[in-house]
């Protein structure tokens, strides 16, 4: 899928982050993926130099292709795994900041392949910290996950709640948070190693999220179904709720965490929109937006590891990072649905 890097600009990044990243050098792991490519594009737009390392196991390289021309030598793409220590050392050399996005995603896929998830998401995260430490990186920002909250009934989910991972994926993400905190305390600050922060993303969506996978995230999967004239599939009764969060909010939180003065010491922050939407309501809204109200969802049994309700409390992220969502759910969904419709029209 090719699109212009400016095709879906919704946020005035210069107004939000000014010159904070101009001339700075960053490594984005998983930089060819959905969130990583948005982050890479915004960093380049703000004047940073970026190395993106990605083994292309979950992306095909097309997300970064439109950025290459305008960025010139400020973008270098390293096609390699974070399990390859030599490639990682080469990619991180000279970086001041690391945005660690590389991972295997999807709860159901992790239930099928727990060992692979442990290797990439947990050992891979240790590798990233060790490479960052050897290279003198100042701060690592880690892509953690709201799946850490599991099925705790209390809502909203707050960072003070004990983690309760229910799937191998969630377990690897909680382990990643532990690595961030432990490395910051053992080696960070005065020890010369990187300071760290973990961002618990809640159901991120937006342009370029992969819809062509059996494990696609729900908004991407629904868009694909409606555009193909098929009923969307809902696992469970559809009353499960999520805090669907446009990708610009995740990018914004990463930039805030990277720029925050002082030491963060592995603290964990929710990154979300703060709005609770059921999956059936989501399907109804997308059916309306795509002009297919007659395509009623098909309900299948709930999947192992899925959680029932999820909505974030954002007070800690506001107090600790100055984070507030920059794109609300409705505006983000409209833009995203429009992007999938344009991709579909261009492909037929």
Ligand X SMILES: NC(=O)c1ccc[n+]([C@@H]2O[C@H](COP(=O)([O-])OP(=O)(O)OC[C@H]3O[C@@H](n4cnc5c(N)ncnc54)[C@H](O)[C@@H]3O)[C@@H](O)[C@H]2O)c1
Q: Which residues in this chain contact ligand X in the complex, by CB under 6 A? A: 30, 32-36, 53-59, 81-83, 101-105, 120, 124, 143, 145, 201, 203-204, 210, 217
The least distance separating ligand X from the CB of residue 272, rounded to whole angstroms, comes to 10
The least distance separating ligand X from the CB of residue 24, rounded to whole angstroms, comes to 21
The least distance separating ligand X from the CB of residue 192, rounded to whole angstroms, comes to 26
> Nearer to ligand X by C-beta: 27 or 234?
27
> Nearer to ligand X by C-beta: 223 or 295?
223
The least distance separating ligand X from the CB of residue 122, rounded to whole angstroms, comes to 12
Q: Which residue is at the shortest CB distance from ligand X?
A: 33
58, two tokens: 């979950």
> Nearer to ligand X by C-beta: 11 or 172?
172
Q: How far is CA 101 from CA 3, 15, 31, 141, 256, in A?
A: 21, 25, 7, 9, 16
For residue 182, count CB atoms less than 10 angstroms from its CB and return exposed for 0-12, middle for 13-18, buried for 19 or more: middle
The least distance separating ligand X from the CB of residue 27, rounded to whole angstroms, comes to 11
Spell out where 73-226 has E strands.
75-79, 97-100, 139-145, 195-201, 204-205
The least distance separating ligand X from the CB of residue 307, rounded to whole angstroms, comes to 12
CA–CA dist 128, 85 (Å, integer): 8
CA–CA dist 312, 314 (Å, integer): 6
CA–CA dist 141, 35 (Å, integer): 13
Say what the alpha-carbon torsion angle 209, 212, 215, 219 is, to the nearest 10 degrees.
50
Rg for the chain, CA atoms, rounded: 19
* Residue located via tokens 């007070």: 315
59, two tokens: 């992306």
The least distance separating ligand X from the CB of residue 330, rounded to whole angstroms, comes to 18
Q: How far is CA 64 from CA 12, 28, 173, in A?
A: 20, 12, 25
CA–CA dist 264, 254 (Å, integer): 13
> Nearer to ligand X by C-beta: 46 or 218?
218
> Nearer to ligand X by C-beta: 101 or 280?
101
The least distance separating ligand X from the CB of residue 149, rounded to whole angstroms, comes to 11
The least distance separating ligand X from the CB of residue 19, rounded to whole angstroms, comes to 27
DSSP for 193-204, please give it.
B-EEEEEEE-SE
> Nearer to ligand X by C-beta: 180 or 295?
180
* Residue located via tokens 């380049």: 44
> Nearer to ligand X by C-beta: 226 or 244?
244
> Nearer to ligand X by C-beta: 82 or 282?
82
For strands 241-242 and 277-278, give the pairing. Answer: antiparallel
Name 271's bridge partners.
201
> Nearer to ligand X by C-beta: 219 or 295?
219
């Amino acid at each position: 899928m090719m699109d212009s890097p400016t095709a879906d600009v919704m946020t005035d990044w210069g107004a939000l982050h000014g010159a904070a990243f101009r001339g700075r050098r960053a490594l984005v792991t998983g930089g060819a993926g959905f969130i990583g490519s948005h982050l890479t594009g915004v960093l380049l737009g703000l004047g940073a130099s970026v190395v993106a390392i990605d083994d292309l196991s979950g992306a095909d390289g097309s997300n970064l292709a439109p950025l290459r021309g305008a960025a010139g030598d400020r973008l270098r793409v390293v096609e390699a795994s974070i399990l390859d220590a030599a490639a990682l050392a080469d990619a991180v050399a000279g970086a001041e900041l690391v945005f660690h996005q590389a991972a295997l995603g999807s709860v159901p896929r992790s239930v099928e392949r727990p060992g692979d998830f442990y290797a990439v998401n947990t050992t891979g995260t240790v590798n990233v910290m060790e490479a960052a430490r050897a290279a003198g990186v100042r701060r690592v920002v880690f892509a953690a996950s709201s799946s850490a909250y599991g099925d705790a009934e209390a809502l909203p989910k707050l960072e003070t709640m004990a983690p309760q991972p229910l799937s191998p994926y969630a377990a690897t993400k909680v382990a990643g948070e532990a690595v961030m905190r432990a490395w910051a305390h053992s080696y960070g600050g005065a020890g010369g190693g990187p300071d760290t922060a973990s961002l618990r993303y809640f159901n991120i969506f937006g342009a370029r999220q992969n819809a062509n996978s059996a494990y696609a995230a729900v908004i991407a999967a629904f868009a694909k179904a409606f555009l193909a004239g098929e009923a969307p599939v809902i696992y469970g009764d559809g009353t499960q709720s999520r805090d669907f969060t446009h990708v610009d909010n995740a990018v914004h939180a990463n930039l805030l965490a990277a720029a925050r003065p002082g030491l963060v010491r592995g603290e964990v922050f929710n990154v979300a929109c703060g709005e609770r939407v059921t999956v059936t309501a989501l399907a109804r809204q997308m059916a309306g937006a795509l002009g297919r109200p007659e395509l009623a969802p098909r309900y299948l049994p709930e999947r192992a590891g899925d959680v029932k309700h999820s909505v974030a409390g954002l007070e800690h992220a506001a107090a600790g990072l100055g984070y507030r969502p920059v794109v609300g759910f409705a505006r983000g969904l409209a833009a995203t649905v429009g992007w999938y419709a344009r991709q579909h029209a261009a492909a037929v």
